[in-house]
Amino acid sequence: MRLFMFESETTNDLRAFAGDSSGSKLPAQHGPWHSTGVVRPDRDPPHKLSRATIEKAIEAKGFQLWRVKAAEKA
């Protein structure tokens, strides 16, 4: 599965993975969202996040949210 990555424009540290390139199932209350990249099926997600956990959440809800720590933003 390709993992499409997004960043919230209203919540600075909020990021998301989605199963579709438009992020159609991302929560509107944290939008607008803009695309930041794609993780191919043969690559690991950034920050040592679990691909299995991400894919399970996408199958259940259509997305997986995560936050960037302050040290990672610098």
- Residues 17-35: pLDDT tens digits? 999 999 999 999 999 999 9
Relative to beta strand 63-67, strand 14-18 is antiparallel
* CA pair distance 43, 46, nearest whole angstrom: 9
Backbone angles phi, psi at 61, to 5 degrees: -120, -15
What pTM did the predictor assign?
Answer: 0.89
Structure confidence by residue, pLDDT tens digits, 31-71: 999 999 999 999 999 999 999 999 999 999 999 999 998 76
pLDDT at 69: 82
Cβ(2)–Cβ(38) below 8 Å: yes
Element containing residue 5 per DSSP (H, E): strand 3-8
